[in-house]
């Protein structure tokens, strides 16, 4: 999306820093209720994400995906037919250049017979338009959501407030596919995380921490910025119904990767108490982060934070990193590249090869053949990595 602002009438400035998550566009029939404006004036939307626990749910979602795939196949087939028509016209032109009379209409214009458009083509076009045009309802029209809200209750729905189409610095306020991927893995490996103490870095809207809170004992969901932390805290409150009695405590805290210490100012919102820092260092055995590798400086800051925190933990821990490789054409390389991902892999390799005599980091990718519990596109660009941080002394 490109925004145009004008400092002067004859001197327009073009900005192209607006980002929109594909998660908000994947489900063509989803409606987004705008519930409020946040502190910086951005519209905040409420979305429902269904957890697919039963085989019936999985089967129905599979049918929907297969129907969509069939429609897309029909659309591609139509494109192929159009390509054949274009080739036929080209052959006719070549044939006519050899002296055969060209077909002309009454006015002397070239008469081209066009393939009639089928109803399936129109249906596919409608489907594709719906996929990129989510329906937005304003607060005050909750009656339009009454039926949906009745369906979206109980222990199988996650309610998330989020923004859409934000500047790059506010992408943490959106929901991203890698967060869903990590949530899938948590639900698939419930027993692995049961009763654990967990730290999430760059929690954003908090959806991954909320899913982790359904099985873990305590989750510290961290990010930076009062606005995103307030949104995260609201989402935790919206999903208390998912937490098991006596478990699932999710604490929203500030953690700035560019600073070497926890924020302990009692006057600052979302700061840490000395007891909470001690609890983290004494009991944390899992650290996780999802879709936070889009800026080289922040990637390096994240790994420095990982290094510092794992050194201060009493026990060894396991780190889970989920990400999506995003390919872009760059003028510098004159090719399609993924520089942010390349820097991530380089920094990950540096961590694994680090030898300081205190910690050993073992890195391995996780196969993405586990069950899908949330509705999203598990594209081939998604990856999940596991780092085992072992203390040597």
Burial 366-390 (b: 16+ CB within 10 A, else e): beeeeebbbbbeeeeebbbbebebe
Q: What is the pLDDT of residues 9-32, one digit of tens each?
A: 344 333 457 888 888 766 555 667
The whole-angstrom separation of Cα 215 and Cα 171 is 27
The whole-angstrom separation of Cα 87 and Cα 89 is 5
pLDDT the model gives residue 326: 87
CB 360 within 8 A of CB 393: no
Q: Tell which CATH architecture fits domain 171-391.
A: 3-Layer(aba) Sandwich (3.40)
Q: What's the rounded mean pLDDT across residues 301-305?
A: 97
pLDDT-wise least confident of 40-44, 56-60, 102-106, 273-277: 56-60
Q: What is the pLDDT of residues 353-374, one digit of tens each?
A: 998 889 999 999 999 999 999 9
Q: Which residues contact 4 (CB under 8 A, 6 or more apart)?
A: 12, 13, 14, 15
Pairing of strands 11-15, 18-19: unpaired
Q: What's the rounded mean pLDDT across residues 292-300?
A: 94
The whole-angstrom separation of Cα 45 and Cα 31 is 10
Q: How confident is the model at residue 3 (pLDDT cuts 50, 70, 90)?
A: very low
pLDDT the model gives residue 54: 57
Let me know how many helices (H) and strands (E) the chain has, helices first: 11, 17
pLDDT-wise least confident of 69-78, 203-212, 265-274: 69-78
Closest by Cα among 366, 190, 228, 222 to 289: 222
- The residues pairing with 385 across neighbouring beta strands, listed in sequence order, are 321, 365
pLDDT the model gives residue 18: 81
Mean of per-residue pLDDT scores for the chain: 78
The helix (H) or strand (E) run that includes residue 178 is helix 177-188
Beta strands in 79-165 (DSSP E): 135-138, 157-162
Sheet (strand 249-254) strand order: 249-254, 218-223, 197-200, 284-290, 317-324, 382-391, 359-365
Model confidence, pTM: 0.75
Q: How confident is the model at residue 161 (pLDDT cuts 50, 70, 90)?
A: very high
Closest by Cα among 22, 4, 1, 21 to 13: 4
Q: How confident is the model at residue 36 (pLDDT cuts 50, 70, 90)?
A: confident
Grouping H, G, I as helix, E, B as strand and the rest as coil, residue 151 is helix
Residue ranges of the domains in the chain?
A: 171-391
CA angle 269, 272, 276 (to 5 degrees): 145
Q: What is the pLDDT of residues 46-57, one digit of tens each?
A: 989 889 875 455
Grouping H, G, I as helix, E, B as strand and the rest as coil, residue 10 is coil
Dihedrals phi, psi of 73, to nearest 5 degrees: -65, -40
């Amino acid at each position: 999306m490109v925004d145009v602002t004008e400092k002067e009438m004859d001197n327009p400035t073009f900005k192209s820093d607006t980002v929109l998550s594909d998660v908000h566009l994947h489900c063509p029939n989803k409606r987004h209720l705008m519930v409020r404006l946040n502190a910086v004036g951005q519209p905040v939307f409420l979305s429902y994400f269904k957890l697919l626990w039963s085989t019936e749910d999985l089967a129905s979602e599979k049918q929907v995906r297969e129907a969509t795939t069939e429609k897309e196949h029909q659309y591609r087939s139509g494109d192929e037919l159009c390509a054949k028509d274009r080739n036929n016209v080209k052959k006719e032109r070549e044939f006519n250049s050899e002296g055969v009379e060209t077909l002309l209409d009454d006015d002397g214009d070239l008469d081209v017979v066009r393939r009639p458009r089928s109803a399936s083509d129109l249906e596919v076009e409608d489907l594709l338009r719906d996929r990129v045009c989510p329906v937005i309802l304003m607060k005050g029209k909750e009656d339009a959501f009454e039926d949906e809200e009745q369906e979206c209750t109980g222990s199988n729905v996650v309610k998330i407030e989020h923004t859409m189409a934000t500047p790059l610095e506010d992408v943490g306020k959106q929901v991203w596919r890698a967060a869903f991927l990590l949530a899938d893995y948590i639900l698939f490996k419930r027993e692995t995380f049961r009763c654990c103490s967990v730290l999430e870095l760059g929690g954003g809207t908090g959806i991954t921490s909320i899913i982790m809170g359904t099985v873990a004992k305590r989750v510290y969901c961290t990010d930076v910025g009062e606005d995103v932390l307030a949104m995260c805290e609201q989402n935790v409150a919206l999903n208390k119904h998912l937490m098991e009695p006596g478990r699932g405590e999710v604490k929203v805290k500030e953690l700035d990767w560019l600073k070497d210490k926890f924020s302990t100012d009692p006057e600052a919102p979302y700061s840490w108490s000395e007891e909470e820092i001690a609890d983290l260092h004494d009991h944390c055995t899992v650290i996780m982060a999802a879709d936070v590798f889009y800026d080289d400086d922040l990637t390096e800051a994240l790994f420095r934070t990982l290094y510092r925190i794992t050194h201060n933990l009493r026990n060894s821990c396991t780190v889970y990193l989920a990400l999506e490789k995003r390919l872009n054409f760059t003028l510098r390389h004159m090719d399609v590249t993924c520089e942010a991902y390349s820097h991530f892999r380089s920094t990950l390799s540096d961590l694994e090869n680090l030898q300081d005599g205190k910690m050993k980091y073992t890195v391995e990718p996780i196969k993405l053949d586990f069950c899908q519990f949330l509705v999203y596109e598990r594209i081939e660009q998604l990856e999940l990595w596991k780092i085992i941080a072992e203390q040597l002394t």
